[in-house]
């Protein structure tokens, strides 16, 4: 079948498939699901659903409806656990203002849950990975460190305050962050998930044929995460992320391995990373702030292509 020319699929590193819909808008289609990262099934459902919706918001879009995708060991675990997972997902879908119209569950020893989300975006508001321009400022809308905290939670080594912060961060929809982006206008956007801040920023740089400089001290981090890294709670995915990206980054020698792990940390339901024209950056910060977004930090700048995709300033 011949697809319209402006269809976006596998070949791009964007967050969703993009399908022409009518003269003024595109349909967006995403799918994401994973294994539990917290013990409470309801909260796991909330996190998984927020994470799935995020890919729609990262494109500047609004979700329309979703389908559940789940795996569950119904012979060994109480079905009430599955129903709590689905309830968490449903409550987040209601917050997003969309229905869940159905779905499918199969038997599997390890529970998994997520959504396939259909959304829509005005053509003028589509924020691809490839739109970042030299001089754009980079804004991140949630703090990082979620993978490290999740690993500490699995080992019963995170304190309650930190767990609460992580859950609040992961269950917060990127809906209002996307709304702010649509109001002000942005050049590129992606959400920070499994490849970490460095991985997703690097994808944006490659797609846009630019490089980036980030300032370590400006990057929002959940309190207490640095201590957890020192104690060794670094997920395998985070270590792999750093290994994959190492040759593409430049940093001064005084940037510690701990800090590099943090920048490469695999996030679940992380924030939006937005590249915005420097003249609009303050306005975007103000709108993000007025909508109650957790963070509106400017963490760096897009530059012309260099030898290294990302340079990290310690200061």
14 DSSP 8-state letter? -
Q: For residue 17, how many other CB atoms are within 10 A of its CB?
A: 18
Specify the residue, 207 or 228, whose C-beta has the smaller distance to Co ion. Answer: 207
Site track 148-187 with Co ion (rule: CB under 5 A), x = hit: ----------------------------------------
Choice from 14, 191, 203, 301 touching Co ion (CB under 5 A): 191
Measured distance CA(50)–CA(114) in Å, rounded: 9
30: which 2 tokens?
Answer: 């995403």
Specify the residue, 15 or 172, whose C-beta has the smaller distance to Co ion. Answer: 15
Specify the residue, 56 or 287, whose C-beta has the smaller distance to Co ion. Answer: 56
Cross-strand pairs, 212? 302, 310
> Shortest gap between Cβ of 16 and Co ion (angstroms)?
8
109: which 2 tokens?
Answer: 């020893």
> Shortest gap between Cβ of 54 and Co ion (angstroms)?
6
Specify the residue, 172 or 191, whose C-beta has the smaller distance to Co ion. Answer: 191
Specify the residue, 13 or 213, whose C-beta has the smaller distance to Co ion. Answer: 13
How far is C-alpha 10 from the geometric centre of its chain's CA atoms? 18
> Shortest gap between Cβ of 14 and Co ion (angstroms)?
8
Cross-strand pairs, 274? 139, 189
Specify the residue, 200 or 251, whose C-beta has the smaller distance to Co ion. Answer: 200
Measured distance CA(288)–CA(172) in Å, rounded: 14
> Shortest gap between Cβ of 55 and Co ion (angstroms)?
4
Measured distance CA(57)–CA(247) in Å, rounded: 31
Closest CA to 269 of 179, 202, 172, 185: 172
Measured distance CA(170)–CA(49) in Å, rounded: 10
> Shortest gap between Cβ of 110 and Co ion (angstroms)?
23
Exposure string of 77-86, with b = 16+ CB inside 10 Å and e = fewer, is eeeebbebbb
Specify the residue, 15 or 136, whose C-beta has the smaller distance to Co ion. Answer: 15
Interacting residues with Co ion between 48 and 67 (CB under 5 A): 55
Choice from 15, 136, 203, 301 touching Co ion (CB under 5 A): 15
Helices (H), 185-219: 196-208
Measured distance CA(305)–CA(303) in Å, rounded: 6
> Shortest gap between Cβ of 56 and Co ion (angstroms)?
9
Residue of minimal Cβ distance to Co ion: 15
Rule CB under 5 A: say whether 203 interacts with Co ion. Answer: no
Of the candidate spans 13-21, 95-103, 234-242, 246-254, the one that interacts with Co ion by CB under 5 A turns out to be 13-21
User: Binding residues for Co ion, per CB under 5 A?
Assistant: 15, 55, 191
């Amino acid at each position: 079948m011949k697809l319209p020319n402006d269809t976006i699929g596998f070949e791009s590193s964007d967050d969703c498939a993009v399908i022409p819909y009518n003269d003024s808008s595109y349909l967006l289609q995403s799918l994401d699901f994973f294994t539990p990262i917290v013990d409470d099934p309801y909260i796991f459902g909330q996190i998984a659903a927020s994470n799935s919706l995020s890919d729609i918001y990262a494109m500047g879009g609004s979700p329309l409806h979703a389908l559940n995708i789940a795996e569950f060991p119904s012979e060994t675990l109480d079905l009430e656990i599955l129903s709590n997972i689905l309830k968490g997902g449903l409550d987040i879908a209601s917050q997003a203002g969309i229905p869940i119209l159905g779905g499918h569950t199969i038997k599997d020893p390890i529970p998994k849950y997520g959504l396939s989300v259909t959304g829509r975006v005005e053509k003028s508001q589509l924020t691809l990975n490839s739109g970042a321009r030299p001089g754009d400022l980079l804004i991140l809308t949630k703090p990082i460190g979620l993978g490290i905290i999740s690993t500490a939670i699995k080992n019963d080594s995170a304190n309650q305050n930190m767990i609460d912060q992580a859950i609040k961060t992961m269950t917060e929809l990127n809906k209002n962050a996307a709304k702010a982006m649509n109001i002000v206008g942005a050049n590129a956007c992606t959400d920070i998930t499994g490849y970490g801040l460095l991985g997703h920023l690097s994808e944006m740089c490659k797609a846009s044929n630019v490089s980036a400089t980030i300032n370590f001290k400006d990057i929002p981090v959940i309190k207490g995460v640095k201590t957890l890294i020192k104690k060794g709670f670094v997920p395998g995915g985070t270590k792999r992320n750093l290994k994959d990206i190492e040759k593409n980054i430049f940093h001064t020698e005084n940037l510690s391995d701990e800090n590099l792990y943090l920048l490469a940390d695999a996030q679940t339901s992380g924030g939006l990373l937005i590249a915005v024209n420097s003249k609009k950056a303050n306005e975007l910060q103000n709108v993000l702030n007025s909508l109650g977004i957790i963070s509106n930090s400017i963490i760096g700048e897009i530059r012309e292509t260099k030898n290294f995709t990302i340079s990290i300033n310690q200061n």
